[in-house]
Amino acid sequence: MSPSKCGFGHLKSAEDLVTSYEAVRAGFVSSALEKNRQATPFVAEARTLQALSSKAKRPRDLLKITEIQNALLTASGLSEKAVGHLTEKNKKDAIEGLIQNFLEPAGDKFVEELLFRFLLIRGDALGGSMRNIWGALAQRKLSRAILSHLSLSGIAYTWLHSQKNVWFNQTPEDSDIEIFLRGISWNTRGKSRTILFNLTVPCVGNNVDLSVLSCSHMDIINKKVAANIIKAPRSYIALGELKGGIDPAGADEHWKTARTALLRIRDAFGKTTHKPHLFFIGAAIEKKMAGEIWSLLKNKSLENAANLTDDNHLTAITKWLCSL
C-alpha cells in the first residue's frame, strides 16, 4: 500500500521524518522558556523570604519569624515529601543544624546564606520536575493541535483537567488549557471518542502515552463503567508513543524505549481478537531512527508516524487521530 493511500500520506520517504537543525534549536529555546516559567514561583518565594528574614539581627532570631519556618526547613535540605515523615523534634533539629553549621558561620551575611541554601534545594526540586519537561511540552503541543482541529472542524469537545480530575466543556477562551489537560472527548458522525494521556492499559500491563478510546467522557466519569471500558481490549481504537525529547544525543534511546513499548502493545493485543492502530510521534528523529520507523510503516507494524516539530506532520496525524 502506498503512503498516500494510508494514514501516513504526509510522508514520502524516511528522510521526511528527520528532525531539522532549526527544529532542534527551537526546541531547546522552548525548554529554556519553560524552565524560566516554572522557576518564577521559587524566585518570588526567595524574594519574600529575603524581606522577612532581613528583620532578624542574628541567625537565631529567624526562629521567631513564624512565616518562614517552612522555608527554614527547605534551606535545611529537606524536601516537602521528607518533611511529611518527620516529627516536630526532627524538624527543630534540622533547623538547628542549619543555623549552627551554616548561618552562624556566615556572620552578617547569614540572610544571603539562607537564600542561597533555600534556592539550592528549590532548584534541585525544579531539576527533578524538569526531567520530564520534554514529555510535558510534547503532550501540550499535541493536545493543542487536537483542540485546534476539533474547533476548526466545528466539533464540540470536553477536556479533562489533570489536577482537578474534572471534565470541562469547550469555551471560547481556552488558552493554556493544554497545560492541565489529560484527556479530550468529542462526538462526530455518531461516534464517541475519548483520548487519554498516560493511561495504564490492563492487557498491556504498562502505561501508554496516548490512547484513543471508543467511549464518551460520560463513560469515563462513571468509575464502574470506565473500569470496564479500560479493561476491554475492543475499547481501544489507537495507541501511540509520544517522545518529546529534542536533544539528538538522546534520540536513539528514546526511540528504543518507544519501539519496545509499541512492540509490547502489538504483542499484547495479538493475544486478543482486536487490533488497535499503532503510531509514533517524536521530536528528535535522526536518520537511522527514521529508517527504522519507515520500515515499520511499510511492513504495517506501525500505521502512522510524525515528527512533532513539523507542523504539516502534526496537522496530518491530528486529522488522522480525530477521524478514527
Per-residue pLDDT 10s for the chain (324 aa) are 444 445 678 999 999 999 998 988 988 888 788 878 878 888 899 999 999 999 999 999 999 999 999 999 999 988 777 888 889 999 999 999 999 999 999 999 999 999 999 988 887 766 655 557 788 889 999 999 999 999 999 999 999 999 999 999 998 888 889 999 999 999 988 899 999 999 999 999 999 999 999 999 999 999 999 999 999 999 999 999 999 888 888 888 889 999 999 999 999 999 999 999 999 999 999 999 999 999 999 999 999 999 999 999 999 999 999 999
- Eight-state DSSP code of residue 20: P
**67 class by beta-carbon count within 10 Å (0-12 exposed, 13-18 middle, 19+ buried):** exposed
Q: How far apart are CA 178 and CA 162, in angstroms?
A: 10
Q: How far apart are CA 312 and CA 316, in angstroms?
A: 6
Residue corresponding to grid cell 522558556: 33
Beta bridge partner(s), residue 186: 157, 193
Instruction: Determine how β-strand 277-282 pairs with β-strand 236-243.
Output: parallel
Which DSSP string corresponds to 294-307? Answer: HHHHHTTS-SEEEE
- Tell me, what's the pLDDT at 4? 43
- Tell me, what's the pLDDT at 235? 97
- Tell me, what's the pLDDT at 2? 45
**Grid coordinates representing 79?**
524536601
- Eight-state DSSP code of residue 6: S
Instruction: Determine how β-strand 157-161 pairs with β-strand 167-169.
Output: antiparallel
Instruction: Determine how β-strand 236-243 pairs with β-strand 206-213.
Output: antiparallel
Which DSSP string corresponds to 74-116? Answer: HHTT--HHHHTT--HHHHHHHHHHHIIIIIGGGGGGHHHHHHH
Which DSSP string corresponds to 146-178? Answer: HHHHHHHTT--EEEEETTT--EEE--S--TTGG
The domains located in the chain, with CATH, are 3-34+132-323 (3.40.91.10), 54-129 (1.10.238.90)
Residue 248 to residues 42, 53, 137, 307, 308, Cα–Cα distance (Å): 30, 45, 17, 13, 14
Compute CA 305 distance to the chain's CA centroid, rounded to the nearest angstrom: 19
- Tell me, what's the pLDDT at 131? 57
